[in-house]
Structure 1
Amino acid sequence: MFDLLTHWFSSFLRRRRRLGNFGRTVLPGLLAARGPGQPVPDRLAPDLLRAALEEPAAAIARLETRADGLSAAEAAERLLGSGPNEVEHEKPLPWWLHLWHCYANPFNLLLTALAVLSYLTEDAKATIVIGAMVVLSTAIRFLQEGRSHRAAESLRSLVGNKATVIRRPTGPAAAGVEAAAAHLEVSRRDVVPGDLVALSAGDIIPADCRLLTARDLFVAQAAMTGESLPVEKNADGGSRDAGPLEQRNLVFMGTSVVSGSATALVLATGKHTYFGALAARATATDTTPNAFQAGVNSVSWLLIRFAAVMVPIVLLINGIDKGDWLQAFLFALSVAVGLTPEMLPMIVTTTLAKGAVRLSRRKVVVKRLDAIQNFGAMDVLCTDKTGTLTQDKIALARHVDVFGQASEEVLNLAFLNSHYQTGLKNLLDHAVLEHVELKAELKLEQNYRKIDEIPFDFVRRRMSVVVSELDDHHELICKGAIEEMLTVCTHVRIENGGGPQVLPLDAALLERVQRVTRQFSQDGLRVVAVAMKELPPAQSRYSVADESGLTLVGYIAFLDPPKESAAPALKALAGHGIQVKVLTGDNELVAASVCSRVGLSAEKVLLGAQVEAMSEEELAQAAERCQVFAKLTPLHKERIVRALRARGHVVGFMGDGINDAPALRAADIGISVDSAVDIAKEAADIILLEKSLMVLDDGVVEGRATFCNMLKYIRMTASSNFGNVLSVLVASAFLPFLPMLPLHLLVQNLLYDISQTGIPFDDVDEELVRAPLKWNPADIGRFMLFFGPISSVFDITTFAMMWWVFKADTVAEQTLFQSGWFVVGLLTQTLIVHMIRTPKLPFVESRAAAPLMAMSVAIMIVGVWLPMGPLAGHFKLQSLPPAYFVWLAGILLGYGVLTTAMKRMYIRHFGWQ
């Protein structure tokens, strides 16, 4: 029996993941399954190598596509043939296997054994009654878990990643005019072999592809190869001496673009990709339980250890005392089932799914159901300021020369840079490109032709494009952060009465430049420097080395005003025990200006350079003290998150850019938004449909309420079961008969469990969600030992009442005794739900939600009706005398008063949670 219990408890969480949980991408788990740099499966390697070695035109022809892509009709036809572009994620169980798992728990197995025994002894009534209980128990769990699973699955559609494909028009083109191919965003699952995809920084690569063109493309593929640094990729020919993963012209599903841009031909999708082949293998292996699952496991094992001690004692006492070892064995098994929280999987799944649905109504989508607990436990939130503290509606406020005077030339150069770059366009680029009139004024098509670009990265913090002006000369136009731009500028261009003049950037000019930009930053403007240099037209490829000897032309400054909701949201988060820390790549003056306007202390700002110089211990102490961090790289953000976690904090990180992905994965709870880049959404556990701290605060409160409801069931079940077993031990030692038959224990346990199905829908006191909540198995054990014996006091009182008051003191009168304790036991178990669901006075200061109240009343009515109604004989119960109910009222009143007094004492000594 205990082997069965152990196996069931260790496996139910794995079943829950199949039934309802969302998961992060399976990539991290693949490393554990195969190890980094594992060879490509034999069935895939030949096709990948063939594509790497052949010319792009040959690969295009072999896949029966064209240089301008597939048409929509062709793509739709191929999708039918190849299937959706999805890997073999762990699939939900088929309904019949789910039904079997809902049946196969200790409670139902023991009931089935009793039904078989009843049938063999020709007790048809007992067989029907017990069989009906099995059907009812299984049906409740099957229907409730099925609803939870469907609710969770429906949230998937709210968070979908896209891919940019190149599709040619399907309609006829005008005479003599070739219709241009269009760049379309489609769901990643709709990408098919033969598609052409456009890739840029921040994209998750949607399939295994052969590069056709690439500009300064760097891909993070550590999950595939174990390489910690991004790998440069190009469209050149492949190497016969290298394997598929080492080919520089192949990119793989699930990896991500760090910088640069490319066009690629899709070779394979879904389970036919390298990622898909590994995923199929990974889903066959169990994953290590996370913090939430470990917490549930710890509670389960607490009860198993308790059962392992108590059940043999019950068996020995009853077997020796009564002499009927078969009856004693069945009774001991019933006690074991009574100690088993068989509804825990259903309560956990239903509560999490209900919480996820409630969160979705608050514009918070949960990708992993068990992330809800971490969401509620979060006590530090790290976030960027753009879009969270500010309005995320950046406007171009100034375009000025180096001395701060308005300059159209600076705007023209910035427009050329933003227009021709093919990497990830940020909000600043979009603000510049809103000046669409410049496209006509500059006559881009006639006067300019793009030659090359040097993509942005978070170390240089700048990007450049090279254009040919009138095919006469090349202009390298660079824009970026002030400090980094000044390191590559040697001259400045100033305006005077005689026209523009270029001067060396000496110390005096440098000081004046810094004074002008500092003033802009203090005014809360984000400042970007614009520089350029002319080059001869002979060169066609450019690199970072060409970003030198530039002439600083001026600055573009952007206004991103604080949100009106930011200050109230920060106050609300603080009221719920959450510190907010701002981690930004902007300079410290802009960060301090914005933070001070929304009520965050910016007296102490830690800079990226300082973070770089600190040891892990120094950084942990500094991160604890500071609220604002500026001029950070992605690795700085990740280090700060890890440092805070090392100090014992549960850290949430909110980000939406490619630079946020490392920190999102390092945090306990990664939070992104639906408009984020693919890699950020993939790394996150929680997706906000609105980028707002107020939405986040609502989500935190809902997450804590969900965790509170799970904790209610665990506490109630543990304490109630502990009290019952104590009562059984006392009764077994002194009574000449069993205090309840195995059937009574099982019926009582079933009815009690049914009453608990209302817990996921219960309300939570406002005071219980003000502070972060964490798993604390020691507290659950203490709670069980503190409140469990209270019910035993009144059980023993009931034993005395039935023995002496109602004379149920012989084997012939045992049915009356058992009926009396059956009613008291069920009603006190149901009452305890309301007594300890809240630290307040139940029914007066805090009332349960209608579903829980209705279930409690219904079960109490059934519990009284069973011995008093026509089915009493079928359950081996009998009617109770009217005087019994007077005593019953007194017992329930005393139970409520004593529990309330003990609750007050417990709160004074230990707090509530």
Structure 2
Amino acid sequence: MKHAPLRAHFVAHLHRRRMARHFLRLASFELFRHVPVSKVVPPDLAATLNAAAREDPAALLARLHSHADGLDAGEVTRIRRQAGENVVGHEKPMPAWLHLWHCYIDPFNLLLSVLAAISLYTGDLKATTVIGCMVVLSTLIRFLQESRSSKAADALKAMVGNQATVLRRAPPGTVPDAAPTVHLDIDGRPARHVEIPLRELVPGDVVVLSAGDMIPADLRLLSAKDLFIGQAAMTGESLPVEKFVALRDAATSSPLELDNIAFMGTNVLSGSATGVAVGTGANTYFGTLAQRVATVEREPTAFQAGVNKVSWLLIRFMAVMTPIVFVLNGFTKGDWLEAFLFAMSVAIGLTPEMLPMIVTSTLAKGAVLLSRKKVIVKRLDAIQNFGAMDVLCTDKTGTLTQDRIVLQRHIDIDGQDSLPVLEYAWLNSHYQTGLKNLLDVAVLARSDELTRLDPANNYRKVDEIPFDFQRRRMSVVVAERDERHLLICKGAIEEILAACTQVRRGETIEPLTPDILAHINAVTGAMNGDGLRVMGVAIKETPPDQSVYGVADETGLTLAGYVAFLDPPKETAAPALKALRLNGVTVKVLTGDNALVTARVCQEVGLEVSGMLLGSDVEKMDDAALGLAVEKTTVFAKLSPTHKERVVRALRANGHVVGFMGDGINDAPALHAADIGISVDTAVDIAKEAADIILLEKSLLVLGDGVMEGRKTFANMLKYIRMTSSSNFGNVFSVLVASVFLPFLPMLPMHLLLQNLLYDVSQTGIPFDNVDEEFLRTPQHWDTDGLGRFMVCFGPLSSLFDVATFGLMWFVFHATTPAAQTLFQSGWFIEGLLSQTLIVHMIRTRKLPFVQSRASWPLIAMTSATMLTGIAIVMGPLAHYFKLQALPAEYFLWLSAILLGYMGLTQLMKGMYTRRYGWQ
């Protein structure tokens, strides 16, 4: 696997301010509600949609230069040249100059720029140069990282992007290949189902829709069967809307009321259809809506809110302390200009100007590692939520099981093998045009047993009643040699029995009596207890002159038998569940499957079932009762999509950070409701669109690895924030003490700027640092209050040893007059820089640094280089340029004692702090 594209997608989403105006996620329902529908659609687009809805299908196809069986490759190329790609306008990449500008516009960079302008105005060119280097360094690092990543973003989007199924005609004169044809045009040319990326769709393409598909463009429907579409992304209405081929209300003029138009960005909940694309990209209802609401800022995520709180905490601290430093030095030294420049330098020292770069670099590093774990992150705060997750809700099929379903038995109602039951099930799976799941694949794989019966040639399809999650069954109607129609219904056993009034035993038909029902429940229950998933197969003869069927025809059915499937547990499920449990993540199973089958699978993979709730139980509970029940329940079975969403919301309301892993249509509401939605690249479109994280392998083991990487990434960000906040607090405290007692400035403004620049450079190794194992054992959360407490506890420690350095320079080296201030300032410059840099190693771990916990080589290299550079500046030929001077060798002996004392006291404070508050 190539990881560059994987990294790209993640880092491309780091541009928070830039990406606030990026292509709207189709599941961001709330965003659309800010814009009144009546004010969104331009008159020309409304007129286009109304005209398409009323136009004769043949005339519409002709106007679009299309055909009932789609376009050929040449026609697609020609149309794409005129219409462009199927993307909204503001999805285009940002120009390099504008990207650079957005990287520069940051509160910290703007503050530094103001201070640089003041320094330039006052003639302090050296300070101006140092501040300018800090701004350029921060801006360029962000710009280069983001530019490098964005170039590969399209490759990743294509890798996990949604697809559209279209009809494609073979060019004239070509020989059809072995692919199954949908139908032939009048020239005998085949039209085939072809999967294409959404961006390649063009006006005139004939799109094939089935349950779970995202609508890829504005479509005029050409055919529809029980088609229900979720339009919540457009209207905010949760109930699905039924669509038809013909416009039922010719008087309507509102685009959303056109019931034969399907809009880009909505999704198929049930049924099937075909439609011709009348608008793509920005020329769609969704594209227009997206352009209008592009200026609406989304509510900050938990991650963004955490970073913002930390940033403003430090900025407020700076706003309070800087004036105090200015006034204090102005009164005690009498030089108000010098005091002002010194206060400005202190302000710069307190500014966490590297925070955006550290966050970006840390997340980029996390993206690299997550990509190697086959995890693609779609949203910025997903990594932090990954690490904070303490409850994981997951489906059973494909996660706990192998997703390799095999048809084990096809039996009559008494449990005897039955070939007719297999034939009925095969016809049902073969002729349905909706979403073929793994159960259908398993049934169709047994076609070799039906060679003698030859059902494909003996039957033709008449109609179908598509699957939906309320009925939990689907039917096809076939004609046997045009002599009779046979409705074949297949689905969950309970829902099949609800539509049956009789059963078939051998060649006889008997009423469905309570005794027979009890017998059926015993047979199916025994199979469920063995871990088999049982589906019922029922039939009904209908009049041969009937050609259109609906849900109302699924009554009075005759139960023919059952098909039973086995999905063996995954070998990796048990160790993955154990690892998640040890790392503080509770796993709960939310499934629409049978309770007995689910319990058996949980038993085989070692998941202890402490409680079980059925969908019917959830239905009866109010929110308060459900909130209590979810804490004590491990397995939720026979759930509808609404039930899954309610369970997730109940867990979140109880204070949990909830992850939901799913890949089906019925999982989309829960994916959207969870703190972190997790899906797989083979999921249906709507599930992938609602998810925050995409796994390239459907495995809890992969997910567990991703959780650990998420915690490592968050841990390294927290290190920088802790180091910066405590170090800044200590420096200001030291400056206040020195300002009161010294007849000169403890350091010149230029010294503070240079020291801060060197310290910032040393921090660039933090994203690559190691993380202690014990830090990864529990979920991690933002704690702004804890950060303030950490500052107060650890900041003054450095001040104690700064004051010791003041005493050293005053009493030992006699730097007591303004004439000797350069010696004093040189001594504090080195001690301040080395103590600030050493605190990186002290605070990065609860353990004893360098012995019990060693930093990564990049961090060791950066901090070592920073300390050596600082010493070289003071002791080398550049000292005079920076108004410093070489220190006597004796100084470094005293310095070693001061630094060792500082490290020892910090280690002691770490133990006391951990015992009282905990290190995390």
Normalising to structure 2: TM-score of the pair? 0.94
Deviations 1:758-815 (A, max 9, x none): 1111111111111000111111111111101111011111111111111111111112
Are 2:725 and 1:718 equivalent residues in the alignment? Answer: yes
Match of 1:851 in 2: 858
**How big is the shift at 1:436?**
3.2
Match of 1:215 in 2: 225
User: Residues 23 and 88 of structure 2 are in contact (CA less than 8 Å); yes or no, is this contact kept in structure 1?
Assistant: no
Which of 645, 649, 674 in structure 1 is aligned with 2:652? Answer: 645
**How big is the shift at 1:514?**
0.9
Which of 352, 368, 376 in structure 2 is aligned with 1:365? Answer: 376
Are 2:284 and 1:268 equivalent residues in the alignment? Answer: no
Match of 1:537 in 2: 544
SS in 2 for 1:33: coil
Match of 2:836 in 1: 829
Match of 1:381 in 2: 392
Match of 1:6 in 2: none
User: Residues 656 and 681 of structure 1 are in contact (CA less than 8 Å); yes or no, is this contact kept in structure 2?
Assistant: yes
Structure-2 separation of matches of 1:661 and 1:52: 29
CA pair 672-244 structure 1, distance change in 2 beyond 3 A: same
Deviations 1:181-209 (A, max 9, x none): 00000111111111011000000000011
Counterpart of 2:550, as a letter, is S
CA pair 203-186 structure 1, distance change in 2 beyond 3 A: same
Match of 1:9 in 2: none
Are 2:49 and 1:48 equivalent residues in the alignment? Answer: yes
Structure-2 separation of matches of 1:207 and 1:821: 66
Identity %: 65
SS in 1 for 2:881: helix
Match of 1:490 in 2: 501
Q: How does 1:477-556 map to 2 (within 5 A)?
A: 477-495=488-506, 500-556=507-563
Are 2:178 and 1:178 equivalent residues in the alignment? Answer: no
Which of 552, 568, 578 in structure 2 is aligned with 1:571? Answer: 578
Match of 1:356 in 2: 367
User: Residues 22 and 369 of structure 1 are in contact (CA less than 8 Å); yes or no, is this contact kept in structure 2?
Assistant: no
Q: RMSD between aligned alpha carbons?
A: 2.3
User: Residues 41 and 274 of structure 1 are in contact (CA less than 8 Å); yes or no, is this contact kept in structure 2?
Assistant: no
User: Residues 149 and 353 of structure 1 are in contact (CA less than 8 Å); yes or no, is this contact kept in structure 2?
Assistant: no
User: Residues 24 and 367 of structure 1 are in contact (CA less than 8 Å); yes or no, is this contact kept in structure 2?
Assistant: no
Structure-2 separation of matches of 1:519 and 1:123: 87
Q: How does 1:127-276 map to 2 (within 5 A)?
A: 135-147=136-148, 155-173=156-174, 178-237=188-247, 239-242=249-252, 243-276=254-287
Are 2:675 and 1:674 equivalent residues in the alignment? Answer: no
**How big is the shift at 1:477?**
0.3
**How big is the shift at 1:722?**
0.5
Match of 1:471 in 2: 482
Structure-2 separation of matches of 1:630 and 1:38: 44
User: Residues 585 and 630 of structure 1 are in contact (CA less than 8 Å); yes or no, is this contact kept in structure 2?
Assistant: yes
Structure-1 separation of matches of 2:138 and 2:820: 31
Counterpart of 1:784, as a letter, is M
**How big is the shift at 1:621?**
0.9
Q: How does 1:868-883 map to 2 (within 5 A)?
A: 868-883=875-890
Are 2:623 and 1:612 equivalent residues in the alignment? Answer: no
SS in 2 for 1:888: helix
Q: How does 1:443-842 map to 2 (within 5 A)?
A: 443-444=454-455, 446-495=457-506, 500-602=507-609, 604-842=611-849
Counterpart of 1:194, as a letter, is G
Which of 394, 397, 401 in structure 1 is aligned with 2:405? Answer: 394
User: Residues 22 and 294 of structure 2 are in contact (CA less than 8 Å); yes or no, is this contact kept in structure 1?
Assistant: no
Deviations 1:329-386 (A, max 9, x none): 2211221121111111111112112212210110111011221111110000001110
Q: How does 1:314-325 map to 2 (within 5 A)?
A: 314-325=325-336
Deviations 1:627-660 (A, max 9, x none): 0111111101000001111111110000000000
Structure-1 separation of matches of 2:230 and 2:309: 37
**How big is the shift at 1:113?**
6.3
SS in 2 for 1:84: coil
CA pair 341-155 structure 1, distance change in 2 beyond 3 A: farther
Match of 1:312 in 2: 323
User: Residues 141 and 357 of structure 2 are in contact (CA less than 8 Å); yes or no, is this contact kept in structure 1?
Assistant: no
Structure-2 separation of matches of 1:19 and 1:857: 39
Structure-1 separation of matches of 2:129 and 2:654: 59
Match of 1:78 in 2: 79
Structure-2 separation of matches of 1:756 and 1:861: 15
Match of 1:906 in 2: 913
Match of 1:4 in 2: none
Q: Which stretch of structure 1 is more off in the superposition, 354-363 or 718-727?
A: 354-363
Structure-2 separation of matches of 1:851 and 1:440: 66
CA pair 428-132 structure 1, distance change in 2 beyond 3 A: closer
Match of 1:429 in 2: 440
Structure-1 separation of matches of 2:55 and 2:871: 81
**How big is the shift at 1:535?**
0.7
Deviations 1:681-739 (A, max 9, x none): 00000011000000000000000100001111111110000100111111111111111
Structure-2 separation of matches of 1:303 and 1:224: 41
User: Residues 155 and 360 of structure 1 are in contact (CA less than 8 Å); yes or no, is this contact kept in structure 2?
Assistant: no
User: Residues 218 and 285 of structure 2 are in contact (CA less than 8 Å); yes or no, is this contact kept in structure 1?
Assistant: yes
Deviations 1:417-450 (A, max 9, x none): 0011111111101100112336754444542221
**How big is the shift at 1:173?**
4.8
Q: Which stretch of structure 1 is more off in the superposition, 339-348 or 19-28?
A: 19-28
Are 2:349 and 1:335 equivalent residues in the alignment? Answer: no
Counterpart of 1:223, as a letter, is A
Structure-2 separation of matches of 1:144 and 1:14: 11
**How big is the shift at 1:152?**
6.5
Structure-2 separation of matches of 1:110 and 1:27: 34
CA pair 611-517 structure 1, distance change in 2 beyond 3 A: same
Deviations 1:830-859 (A, max 9, x none): 110100101111011111111111110111
Structure-1 separation of matches of 2:25 and 2:46: 27
CA pair 550-112 structure 1, distance change in 2 beyond 3 A: closer
Normalising to structure 1: TM-score of the pair? 0.95
User: Residues 260 and 455 of structure 1 are in contact (CA less than 8 Å); yes or no, is this contact kept in structure 2?
Assistant: yes
**How big is the shift at 1:140?**
3.7
Q: Which stretch of structure 1 is more off in the superposition, 520-529 or 443-452?
A: 443-452
Match of 2:8 in 1: none
Deviations 1:661-688 (A, max 9, x none): 0100010000000100000000000011
Structure-2 separation of matches of 1:234 and 1:112: 61
Counterpart of 1:437, as a letter, is D
SS in 1 for 2:213: coil
CA pair 35-351 structure 1, distance change in 2 beyond 3 A: farther
Counterpart of 2:163, as a letter, is K
**How big is the shift at 1:570?**
0.5
User: Residues 662 and 687 of structure 2 are in contact (CA less than 8 Å); yes or no, is this contact kept in structure 1?
Assistant: yes
User: Residues 21 and 369 of structure 1 are in contact (CA less than 8 Å); yes or no, is this contact kept in structure 2?
Assistant: no
User: Residues 364 and 688 of structure 1 are in contact (CA less than 8 Å); yes or no, is this contact kept in structure 2?
Assistant: yes
> 5+ unaligned residues in a row in structure 1: which ranges?
1-11
Q: Which stretch of structure 1 is more off in the superposition, 67-76 or 517-526?
A: 67-76
SS in 2 for 1:502: strand
Deviations 1:572-625 (A, max 9, x none): 000110110011111111111111111122353211111100111111111110
Structure-1 separation of matches of 2:500 and 2:27: 45
CA pair 196-381 structure 1, distance change in 2 beyond 3 A: same
SS in 2 for 1:675: coil
CA pair 141-30 structure 1, distance change in 2 beyond 3 A: closer
Match of 2:874 in 1: 867
User: Residues 148 and 354 of structure 1 are in contact (CA less than 8 Å); yes or no, is this contact kept in structure 2?
Assistant: no
Structure-1 separation of matches of 2:487 and 2:810: 99
CA pair 101-232 structure 1, distance change in 2 beyond 3 A: closer
